[in-house]
Chain A
Protein backbone atom coordinates (compact mmCIF):
# COMPACT_ATOMS: atom_id res chain seq x y z
CA UNK A 1 0.00 0.00 0.00
CA UNK A 2 2.66 2.48 0.99
CA UNK A 3 4.83 1.49 -1.96
CA UNK A 4 2.12 1.56 -4.57
CA UNK A 5 0.31 4.76 -3.77
CA UNK A 6 2.60 7.59 -2.75
CA UNK A 7 0.06 10.25 -3.67
CA UNK A 8 -3.32 8.62 -3.98
CA UNK A 9 -3.27 7.71 -0.30
CA UNK A 10 -3.89 11.35 0.46
CA UNK A 11 -7.29 11.33 -1.22
CA UNK A 12 -8.67 7.91 -0.41
CA UNK A 13 -8.33 5.83 2.71
CA UNK A 14 -5.01 4.21 1.91
CA UNK A 15 -3.21 4.41 5.23
CA UNK A 16 -0.53 2.09 6.50
CA UNK A 17 0.32 1.84 10.16
CA UNK A 18 3.91 2.87 9.73
CA UNK A 19 4.09 5.92 7.53
CA UNK A 20 0.60 6.57 6.28
CA UNK A 21 0.47 8.29 2.89
CA UNK A 22 3.84 9.97 3.36
CA UNK A 23 6.78 9.01 1.19
CA UNK A 24 9.30 9.22 4.03
CA UNK A 25 9.13 7.72 7.52
CA UNK A 26 8.04 10.29 10.08
CA UNK A 27 10.01 8.72 12.93
CA UNK A 28 13.27 9.09 11.03
CA UNK A 29 12.53 12.72 10.22
CA UNK A 30 11.71 13.36 13.85
CA UNK A 31 15.02 11.87 14.99
CA UNK A 32 16.96 14.15 12.67
CA UNK A 33 14.92 17.14 13.83
CA UNK A 34 15.40 16.24 17.46
CA UNK A 35 19.14 15.98 17.02
CA UNK A 36 19.35 19.33 15.28
CA UNK A 37 16.96 21.16 17.60
CA UNK A 38 18.09 19.38 20.73
CA UNK A 39 21.72 20.41 20.36
CA UNK A 40 20.85 24.05 19.74
CA UNK A 41 18.34 24.13 22.58
CA UNK A 42 20.74 22.46 24.99
CA UNK A 43 23.48 24.93 24.10
CA UNK A 44 21.19 27.93 24.44
CA UNK A 45 18.91 27.44 27.43
CA UNK A 46 19.61 23.90 28.52
CA UNK A 47 16.02 22.89 27.88
CA UNK A 48 14.84 19.99 25.73
CA UNK A 49 12.99 20.94 22.57
CA UNK A 50 9.69 19.30 21.79
CA UNK A 51 8.52 18.68 18.24
CA UNK A 52 4.90 18.86 17.18
CA UNK A 53 3.56 15.73 15.57
CA UNK A 54 2.69 17.63 12.41
CA UNK A 55 6.14 19.07 11.78
CA UNK A 56 7.53 15.75 10.46
CA UNK A 57 4.44 15.52 8.24
CA UNK A 58 5.33 18.84 6.65
CA UNK A 59 8.95 17.74 6.29
CA UNK A 60 7.89 14.49 4.67
CA UNK A 61 6.36 16.43 1.80
CA UNK A 62 9.03 19.12 1.83
CA UNK A 63 11.78 16.53 1.42
CA UNK A 64 9.95 15.08 -1.56
CA UNK A 65 9.91 18.49 -3.21
CA UNK A 66 13.54 19.03 -2.25
CA UNK A 67 14.77 15.70 -3.60
CA UNK A 68 12.74 16.20 -6.77
CA UNK A 69 14.21 19.64 -7.41
CA UNK A 70 17.76 18.59 -6.60
CA UNK A 71 17.40 15.53 -8.83
CA UNK A 72 16.07 17.58 -11.74
CA UNK A 73 18.99 19.97 -11.50
CA UNK A 74 21.47 17.13 -11.20
CA UNK A 75 19.93 15.53 -14.28
CA UNK A 76 20.38 18.78 -16.17
CA UNK A 77 24.07 18.65 -15.28
CA UNK A 78 24.18 15.03 -16.42
CA UNK A 79 22.73 16.01 -19.78
CA UNK A 80 25.29 18.79 -20.12
CA UNK A 81 27.95 16.10 -19.82
CA UNK A 82 26.27 13.99 -22.55
CA UNK A 83 25.73 11.15 -20.09
CA UNK A 84 22.77 9.10 -18.83
CA UNK A 85 24.01 8.25 -15.36
CA UNK A 86 23.68 10.78 -12.55
CA UNK A 87 26.94 10.98 -10.65
CA UNK A 88 27.93 12.68 -7.44
CA UNK A 89 29.64 15.40 -9.50
CA UNK A 90 26.31 16.22 -11.13
CA UNK A 91 24.73 16.74 -7.72
CA UNK A 92 27.68 18.92 -6.72
CA UNK A 93 27.31 20.96 -9.91
CA UNK A 94 23.60 21.43 -9.25
CA UNK A 95 24.32 22.58 -5.70
CA UNK A 96 26.98 25.05 -6.77
CA UNK A 97 24.79 26.48 -9.52
CA UNK A 98 21.81 27.12 -7.24
CA UNK A 99 21.87 29.85 -4.60
CA UNK A 100 19.00 28.17 -2.78
CA UNK A 101 21.22 25.16 -2.07
CA UNK A 102 24.17 27.11 -0.65
CA UNK A 103 23.82 25.32 2.67
CA UNK A 104 24.68 22.04 0.91
CA UNK A 105 28.08 23.16 -0.43
CA UNK A 106 29.90 21.57 2.49
CA UNK A 107 27.97 18.33 2.08
CA UNK A 108 28.89 17.84 -1.56
CA UNK A 109 32.38 19.25 -1.05
CA UNK A 110 33.08 16.88 1.85
CA UNK A 111 31.94 13.95 -0.26
CA UNK A 112 34.12 15.03 -3.15
CA UNK A 113 37.08 15.66 -0.87
CA UNK A 114 36.62 12.25 0.69
CA UNK A 115 36.69 10.65 -2.72
CA UNK A 116 39.92 12.32 -3.73
CA UNK A 117 41.48 11.88 -0.31
CA UNK A 118 42.47 15.51 0.07
CA UNK A 119 41.24 18.70 1.68
CA UNK A 120 39.82 19.49 5.08
CA UNK A 121 36.30 20.03 6.31
CA UNK A 122 35.25 23.35 7.78
CA UNK A 123 32.10 23.76 9.78
CA UNK A 124 30.94 27.01 8.23
CA UNK A 125 28.07 25.42 6.38
CA UNK A 126 26.40 24.31 9.56
CA UNK A 127 26.28 27.78 11.07
Chain B
Protein backbone atom coordinates (compact mmCIF):
# COMPACT_ATOMS: atom_id res chain seq x y z
CA UNK B 1 0.00 0.00 0.00
CA UNK B 2 3.00 2.29 0.06
CA UNK B 3 2.52 2.96 -3.64
CA UNK B 4 -0.90 4.43 -2.96
CA UNK B 5 0.68 7.23 -0.97
CA UNK B 6 2.51 8.39 -4.10
CA UNK B 7 -0.30 8.03 -6.61
CA UNK B 8 -2.00 11.30 -5.60
CA UNK B 9 1.22 13.19 -6.16
CA UNK B 10 1.66 11.64 -9.60
CA UNK B 11 -1.97 12.37 -10.44
CA UNK B 12 -1.61 15.97 -9.36
CA UNK B 13 1.51 16.37 -11.44
CA UNK B 14 -0.04 14.83 -14.54
CA UNK B 15 -3.18 16.94 -14.32
CA UNK B 16 -5.47 16.68 -17.32
CA UNK B 17 -2.93 14.57 -19.19
CA UNK B 18 -3.83 11.53 -17.10
CA UNK B 19 -6.18 8.94 -18.58
CA UNK B 20 -9.80 8.67 -17.51
CA UNK B 21 -9.40 5.50 -15.48
CA UNK B 22 -6.18 6.65 -13.85
CA UNK B 23 -7.62 10.05 -13.18
CA UNK B 24 -10.64 8.50 -11.49
CA UNK B 25 -8.44 6.32 -9.34
CA UNK B 26 -6.21 9.21 -8.39
CA UNK B 27 -9.21 11.38 -7.60
CA UNK B 28 -10.64 8.72 -5.32
CA UNK B 29 -7.42 8.35 -3.37
CA UNK B 30 -6.51 12.01 -3.46
CA UNK B 31 -9.04 13.28 -0.92
CA UNK B 32 -7.74 11.66 2.26
CA UNK B 33 -4.00 11.89 1.55
CA UNK B 34 -4.36 15.50 0.41
CA UNK B 35 -5.75 16.48 3.79
CA UNK B 36 -2.73 14.95 5.47
CA UNK B 37 -0.23 16.08 2.84
CA UNK B 38 1.77 17.84 5.50
CA UNK B 39 1.81 14.74 7.68
CA UNK B 40 3.02 12.53 4.84
CA UNK B 41 6.45 14.13 4.53
CA UNK B 42 9.18 15.39 6.80
CA UNK B 43 9.20 19.17 7.30
CA UNK B 44 11.16 20.62 4.41
CA UNK B 45 13.07 23.05 6.64
CA UNK B 46 14.55 20.19 8.64
CA UNK B 47 15.47 18.30 5.49
CA UNK B 48 17.11 21.36 3.95
CA UNK B 49 19.12 22.01 7.10
CA UNK B 50 20.50 18.47 7.02
CA UNK B 51 21.30 18.79 3.31
CA UNK B 52 23.16 22.06 3.77
CA UNK B 53 25.21 20.51 6.52
CA UNK B 54 26.88 18.15 4.04
CA UNK B 55 27.04 20.46 1.02
CA UNK B 56 29.64 23.17 0.41
CA UNK B 57 28.62 26.75 1.08
CA UNK B 58 28.30 27.68 -2.59
CA UNK B 59 26.00 24.76 -3.41
CA UNK B 60 22.40 25.47 -4.33
CA UNK B 61 19.43 23.12 -4.11
CA UNK B 62 16.51 23.34 -6.50
CA UNK B 63 12.98 23.11 -5.18
CA UNK B 64 12.28 19.88 -7.02
CA UNK B 65 15.37 18.29 -5.46
CA UNK B 66 14.15 19.29 -2.00
CA UNK B 67 10.75 17.75 -2.66
CA UNK B 68 12.30 14.58 -4.05
CA UNK B 69 14.43 14.12 -0.95
CA UNK B 70 11.37 14.68 1.23
CA UNK B 71 9.64 11.85 -0.61
CA UNK B 72 12.72 9.65 -0.29
CA UNK B 73 12.82 10.13 3.49
CA UNK B 74 9.18 9.11 3.89
CA UNK B 75 9.75 6.10 1.66
CA UNK B 76 12.81 5.17 3.73
CA UNK B 77 10.79 5.26 6.96
CA UNK B 78 8.03 3.14 5.42
CA UNK B 79 10.56 0.71 3.98
CA UNK B 80 12.32 0.09 7.28
CA UNK B 81 9.07 0.07 9.25
CA UNK B 82 7.60 -2.56 6.94
CA UNK B 83 10.53 -4.88 7.58
CA UNK B 84 10.42 -4.28 11.34
CA UNK B 85 6.69 -4.92 11.30
CA UNK B 86 7.15 -8.27 9.59
CA UNK B 87 9.54 -9.32 12.33
CA UNK B 88 7.00 -8.34 14.98
CA UNK B 89 4.34 -10.40 13.25
CA UNK B 90 6.56 -13.46 13.10
CA UNK B 91 7.32 -13.16 16.79
CA UNK B 92 3.69 -12.47 17.72
CA UNK B 93 4.45 -9.04 19.12
CA UNK B 94 2.33 -5.93 18.78
CA UNK B 95 4.89 -3.22 19.51
CA UNK B 96 7.64 -2.15 17.13
CA UNK B 97 10.65 -1.34 19.29
CA UNK B 98 13.86 0.53 18.61
CA UNK B 99 15.67 -2.80 18.42
CA UNK B 100 13.30 -3.96 15.68
CA UNK B 101 14.13 -0.84 13.70
CA UNK B 102 17.87 -1.43 14.07
CA UNK B 103 17.46 -5.08 13.08
CA UNK B 104 15.46 -4.11 10.00
CA UNK B 105 18.14 -1.62 8.95
CA UNK B 106 20.92 -4.18 9.17
CA UNK B 107 18.78 -6.66 7.26
CA UNK B 108 18.01 -4.19 4.47
CA UNK B 109 21.61 -3.18 3.90
CA UNK B 110 22.00 -0.14 6.14
CA UNK B 111 24.62 -1.89 8.25
CA UNK B 112 26.73 1.24 8.53
CA UNK B 113 23.89 3.01 10.30
CA UNK B 114 23.35 0.45 13.06
CA UNK B 115 26.43 1.23 15.13
CA UNK B 116 26.01 5.04 15.29
CA UNK B 117 22.30 4.61 15.89
CA UNK B 118 22.91 2.15 18.71
CA UNK B 119 25.29 4.61 20.32
CA UNK B 120 22.78 7.40 19.77
CA UNK B 121 20.00 5.38 21.40
CA UNK B 122 22.21 4.48 24.33
CA UNK B 123 23.21 8.10 24.82
CA UNK B 124 19.59 9.15 24.55
CA UNK B 125 18.55 6.73 27.25
CA UNK B 126 21.35 7.83 29.54
CA UNK B 127 21.40 11.59 29.27
CA UNK B 128 18.10 12.71 27.80
CA UNK B 129 15.67 11.18 30.23
CA UNK B 130 13.72 14.44 30.31
CA UNK B 131 13.41 14.63 26.55
CA UNK B 132 12.43 10.99 26.51
CA UNK B 133 9.73 11.66 29.06
CA UNK B 134 8.38 14.56 27.05
CA UNK B 135 8.61 12.78 23.74
CA UNK B 136 7.07 9.56 24.98
CA UNK B 137 4.00 10.99 26.66
CA UNK B 138 1.76 11.01 23.56
CA UNK B 139 2.60 7.40 22.84
CA UNK B 140 2.37 6.16 26.41
CA UNK B 141 -0.16 3.42 27.03
CA UNK B 142 -2.90 4.50 29.46
CA UNK B 143 -2.30 2.92 32.83
CA UNK B 144 -5.18 1.77 34.98
CA UNK B 145 -5.42 4.15 37.91
CA UNK B 146 -7.63 1.87 39.95
CA UNK B 147 -5.42 -1.16 39.53
CA UNK B 148 -3.43 -1.92 42.66
CA UNK B 149 -0.65 -4.36 42.04
CA UNK B 150 -0.09 -6.86 44.88
CA UNK B 151 3.63 -6.12 44.91
CA UNK B 152 3.23 -2.39 45.20
CA UNK B 153 3.43 -2.46 49.00
CA UNK B 154 6.75 -4.27 49.10
CA UNK B 155 8.61 -1.53 47.23
CA UNK B 156 7.24 1.03 49.66
CA UNK B 157 8.46 -0.97 52.63
CA UNK B 158 11.83 -1.44 51.01
CA UNK B 159 11.98 2.26 50.27
CA UNK B 160 11.36 3.18 53.88
CA UNK B 161 13.95 0.72 55.12
CA UNK B 162 16.54 1.99 52.64
CA UNK B 163 15.72 5.68 52.91
CA UNK B 164 18.19 6.56 55.67
CA UNK B 165 20.97 4.53 54.08
CA UNK B 166 21.34 6.10 50.64
CA UNK B 167 19.35 8.47 48.46
CA UNK B 168 20.65 7.02 45.21
CA UNK B 169 18.92 3.73 45.93
CA UNK B 170 15.52 5.37 45.60
CA UNK B 171 15.80 5.91 41.87
CA UNK B 172 16.11 2.25 40.80
CA UNK B 173 13.50 1.35 43.37
CA UNK B 174 11.12 3.74 41.66
CA UNK B 175 11.86 1.99 38.38
CA UNK B 176 10.71 -1.37 39.63
CA UNK B 177 7.49 -0.13 41.09
CA UNK B 178 6.31 1.59 37.93
CA UNK B 179 7.66 -1.07 35.67
CA UNK B 180 5.58 -3.75 37.36
CA UNK B 181 2.51 -1.56 37.21
CA UNK B 182 2.95 -1.00 33.51
CA UNK B 183 3.72 -4.65 33.01
CA UNK B 184 0.32 -5.56 34.42
CA UNK B 185 -1.36 -2.89 32.31
CA UNK B 186 0.33 -3.93 29.10
CA UNK B 187 0.01 -7.70 29.38
CA UNK B 188 -3.19 -8.13 31.35
CA UNK B 189 -5.08 -10.94 29.61
CA UNK B 190 -3.27 -10.69 26.27
CA UNK B 191 0.22 -11.65 25.13
CA UNK B 192 2.50 -13.85 27.20
CA UNK B 193 5.02 -11.68 29.06
CA UNK B 194 8.73 -12.29 28.43
CA UNK B 195 10.52 -14.67 30.80
CA UNK B 196 11.33 -13.18 34.18
CA UNK B 197 14.94 -12.45 35.05
CA UNK B 198 16.96 -10.64 37.68
CA UNK B 199 17.02 -6.86 37.19
CA UNK B 200 20.26 -5.19 36.16
CA UNK B 201 20.17 -2.44 38.75
CA UNK B 202 22.87 -2.73 41.37
CA UNK B 203 21.80 -3.21 44.97
CA UNK B 204 18.39 -4.72 44.21
CA UNK B 205 17.92 -8.48 44.21
CA UNK B 206 14.16 -8.52 43.85
CA UNK B 207 13.06 -10.76 40.95
CA UNK B 208 11.86 -8.76 37.98
CA UNK B 209 8.85 -9.84 35.88
CA UNK B 210 10.42 -8.66 32.63
CA UNK B 211 13.60 -10.25 31.41
CA UNK B 212 16.28 -8.57 29.37
CA UNK B 213 15.54 -7.76 25.75
CA UNK B 214 18.00 -8.50 22.97
CA UNK B 215 20.22 -5.52 23.71
CA UNK B 216 19.15 -3.77 26.87
CA UNK B 217 17.33 -4.57 30.11
CA UNK B 218 14.54 -2.11 29.33
CA UNK B 219 11.99 -4.09 27.37
CA UNK B 220 9.03 -2.21 25.91
CA UNK B 221 10.30 1.20 26.80
CA UNK B 222 7.48 3.58 25.85
CA UNK B 223 5.61 4.12 29.10
CA UNK B 224 8.54 2.95 31.16
CA UNK B 225 10.65 5.64 29.56
CA UNK B 226 8.11 8.23 30.56
CA UNK B 227 8.03 6.91 34.10
CA UNK B 228 11.78 6.78 34.16
CA UNK B 229 11.94 10.43 33.22
CA UNK B 230 9.60 11.46 36.00
CA UNK B 231 11.38 9.15 38.42
CA UNK B 232 14.64 10.78 37.45
CA UNK B 233 13.13 14.18 38.06
CA UNK B 234 11.54 13.40 41.41
CA UNK B 235 14.65 11.61 42.57
CA UNK B 236 16.81 14.50 41.46
CA UNK B 237 14.54 17.16 42.89
CA UNK B 238 14.94 15.81 46.40
CA UNK B 239 18.72 15.98 46.23
CA UNK B 240 19.44 18.61 43.56
CA UNK B 241 16.83 21.36 43.91
CA UNK B 242 18.76 23.65 41.57
CA UNK B 243 17.95 21.55 38.50
CA UNK B 244 15.33 23.92 37.10
CA UNK B 245 15.57 22.97 33.44
CA UNK B 246 15.06 19.32 34.18
CA UNK B 247 12.08 20.17 36.34
CA UNK B 248 10.42 22.09 33.57
CA UNK B 249 10.78 19.22 31.15
CA UNK B 250 9.51 16.63 33.58
CA UNK B 251 6.66 18.85 34.68
CA UNK B 252 5.47 19.13 31.11
CA UNK B 253 5.65 15.37 30.74
CA UNK B 254 3.77 14.83 33.97
CA UNK B 255 1.00 17.15 32.84
CA UNK B 256 0.45 15.00 29.78
CA UNK B 257 0.36 11.77 31.77
CA UNK B 258 -2.67 9.99 33.19
CA UNK B 259 -4.45 10.81 36.43
CA UNK B 260 -2.48 8.19 38.32
CA UNK B 261 0.56 10.46 38.17
CA UNK B 262 -1.06 13.29 40.09
CA UNK B 263 -0.33 12.00 43.63
CA UNK B 264 3.34 11.77 42.81
CA UNK B 265 3.35 15.30 41.53
CA UNK B 266 1.83 16.62 44.70
CA UNK B 267 4.23 14.60 46.81
CA UNK B 268 7.31 15.46 44.81
CA UNK B 269 9.18 16.98 47.72
CA UNK B 270 8.23 14.28 50.22
CA UNK B 271 9.32 10.95 48.86
CA UNK B 272 7.33 8.55 51.08
CA UNK B 273 4.00 10.10 50.07
CA UNK B 274 3.71 8.71 46.52
CA UNK B 275 3.93 5.16 47.79
CA UNK B 276 1.58 5.75 50.68
CA UNK B 277 -1.17 6.65 48.22
CA UNK B 278 -0.82 3.45 46.20
Known A53-B226, A54-B221, A84-B59: A110·B6 in contact at CB below 8 Å: yes
Is A81 an interface position by the 8 A CB rule?
Answer: no
Does B127 lie within 8 Å of A10, measured CB to CB?
yes
Interface size range on B against A = 35 or more
- Determine chain B's interface SS by DSSP, over half rule: helix
**A70 surroundings in chain B (CB, below 8 A):** 69, 72
Q: Closest residue to B218 on the A side, CB-wise? A: A54
Q: Closest residue to B36 on the A side, CB-wise? A: A31
Does B3 lie within 8 Å of A106, measured CB to CB?
yes
Instruction: Report 29 cross-chain contacts, Cβ distance below 8 Å, ordered by A residue.
Output: A10-B120, A15-B131, A17-B134, A32-B39, A32-B40, A36-B81, A37-B81, A47-B94, A50-B94, A50-B141, A54-B121, A57-B135, A65-B117, A66-B76, A66-B110, A68-B54, A71-B69, A75-B55, A84-B59, A85-B62, A86-B55, A88-B67, A91-B65, A103-B79, A107-B68, A107-B71, A114-B10, A117-B14, A117-B17
Ordered nearest first, which 8 A-B pairs have the shortest CB separation?
A114-B13, A20-B131, A123-B3, A126-B2, A53-B136, A53-B222, A36-B78, A54-B98
Chain A residues packing against B (C-beta within 8 Å): 6, 10-11, 13, 15, 17, 19-21, 23-33, 35-37, 39-41, 43-45, 47-59, 61-68, 70-72, 74-75, 78, 84-88, 90-92, 95, 99-101, 103-104, 106-108, 110-111, 113-115, 117, 120-123, 125-126
